Amino acid sequence: MALHIQTPLIESHALSCTSGKQVYLKLEALQPPGSFKIRGIGALCENLKRQGVDRFVSSSGGNAGIAVAYAGKKLDVPVTVVVPETTTERAKRIISGFGAEVLVHGASWNEANEMAESIAREHGALVHPFDHPLLWQGYASMVDEITSSGLRPDAVLVSVGGGGLYSGVVEGLRRNGLTSIPVLAVETQGTASFHAAMKEGKLVELEGIRGVATSLGAKKVAQRAFELQAHHPTQSVVVSDSQAVSACTRFLDDHRLLVEPACGAALAPVYEKLPAIEPYNTIVCIVCGGSTVTAEQLRSYALS
């Protein structure tokens, strides 16, 4: 039995009225650990357990770490998650609440990941937060569910951090024969490593990560994501922190569902009626979720 659930696909009356488009929501925020991550991470962890791995080691201050901790609890495998110093106390509590060991190391995810790789070489197996084929295959399952409903959208909106979700959505479109459907890849201004790579025609590493959408905070996207954008119709969209936060607060009012700014980034082009969505009549937004934000934090972001 898979560790993820089949999530609802609903038409959003509120977003459709706001944008003048037909907008559907794939509600990955309803996954048991709170985000889409469990689709891929669950598949990878199940595979590792079958190989006899005795510990999962990961590096994430957010949704990936939570998903690995959840998978470890369900599979009865010990978990160590290395988080950077910027990780919130709430995120650490959620990860440890699933029984995982939490280690704090480094000022950024890159430094935390280096420590996780070191630990995994000695004991256990590394569960990368966004860069592994089994992750992408797992994320592709959400597209399987969308197509099995009979819906064929004109475009799919996804948030991009390390590029795992983007890679999975493209793989899902390809394996369902939907290679002509474009993906709108959305980042915030302080996290836009995918946008930089597409602009430069090569992988680019950002000097640093800025802003509130910390779950999108990979300085460089996965090689696979960069390769796929060269062969699949992809449009890079960059939104501001304020647009992402505004989308979260409006989404909470419209759908009674709390999501983090990294998820709000994918909703922002619809709420803001950005030119990027103008050519498309039927749009699916991947509501990727996020467990680490609170309503109080959203209010503070909106006031800052």
pLDDT tens for 162-210 read 899 999 999 999 999 999 999 999 999 988 999 999 999 999 988 887 8
- Asked if residue 1 belongs to a domain, the reply is no
* pLDDT confidence of residue 259: 96
Instruction: Pick the more confident residue, 295 or 278.
Output: 278
* Average pLDDT along the chain: 94
* pLDDT confidence of residue 171: 97
Q: How confident is the model at residue 219 (pLDDT cuts 50, 70, 90)?
A: confident
- Asked if residue 3 belongs to a domain, the reply is no
- Asked if residue 2 belongs to a domain, the reply is no
Please name the residues in contact with 275: beta carbons below 8 A apart, sequence gap of 6 or more.
Answer: none
* pLDDT confidence of residue 23: 98
Distance, in Å, from the CA atom of 88 to the CA atom of 56, rounded to the nearest integer, reads 22
Indicate the pairing of strand 125-127 with strand 282-287: unpaired
Tokens of 180: 């002509």
Are residue 94 and residue 148 in the same domain, yes or no? no
- Please report, for the domain that includes residue 165, its CATH number: 3.40.50.1100
Average pLDDT score over residue span 151-155: 98
- Asked if residue 159 belongs to a domain, the reply is yes
With beta carbons less than 8 A apart as the criterion, state whether 183 and 173 touch.
yes
- For 10-24, 44-58, 79-93, which range has the lowest pLDDT when averaged over its residues? 79-93
Distance, in Å, from the CA atom of 241 to the CA atom of 264, rounded to the nearest integer, reads 9
Kindly tell me the number of DSSP H helices and DSSP E strands found in the chain. Answer: 12, 10
Are residue 251 and residue 277 in the same domain, yes or no? yes
* pLDDT confidence of residue 212: 84
Q: What pTM does this model have?
A: 0.94
Which candidate, 139, 143, 140, 175, places its Cα nearest to that of 41? 139
Check whether 215 has a pLDDT greater than 80: no
Average pLDDT score over residue span 26-54: 97
Average pLDDT score over residue span 215-233: 90
Which candidate, 148, 161, 132, 159, places its Cα nearest to that of 28? 159
With beta carbons less than 8 A apart as the criterion, state whether 72 and 45 touch.
yes
* pLDDT confidence of residue 160: 95
pLDDT in tens, 69-103: 999 999 999 999 999 888 888 999 999 999 999 99
Report how many domains make up the chain. 2
End-to-end CA distance of the chain: 44
Residue that is last in its domain, among 110, 127, 144? 127
Average pLDDT score over residue span 143-158: 98
Are residue 43 and residue 166 in the same domain, yes or no? no
Average pLDDT score over residue span 266-295: 95
Are residue 63 and residue 74 in the same domain, yes or no? yes
* pLDDT confidence of residue 87: 86
Range of the domain at 170: 9-36+132-303
* pLDDT confidence of residue 22: 98
Please name the residues in contact with 102: beta carbons below 8 A apart, sequence gap of 6 or more.
Answer: 81, 83, 92, 95, 96
Average pLDDT score over residue span 285-302: 89
Are residue 28 and residue 63 in the same domain, yes or no? no
Are residue 110 and residue 56 in the same domain, yes or no? yes
Tokens of 239: 């939104």
Are residue 57 and residue 204 in the same domain, yes or no? no
Are residue 186 and residue 270 in the same domain, yes or no? yes
Q: How confident is the model at residue 131 (pLDDT cuts 50, 70, 90)?
A: confident
Handedness of CA 219, 195, 23, 156 (dihedral sign): negative
Residue 84 vs residues 92, 100, 109, 112: alpha-carbon distances, Å: 10, 16, 6, 5
Residue in this structure with the two tokens 């978990």, named with its chain if needed: 79
Residue that is last in its domain, among 98, 127, 156? 127
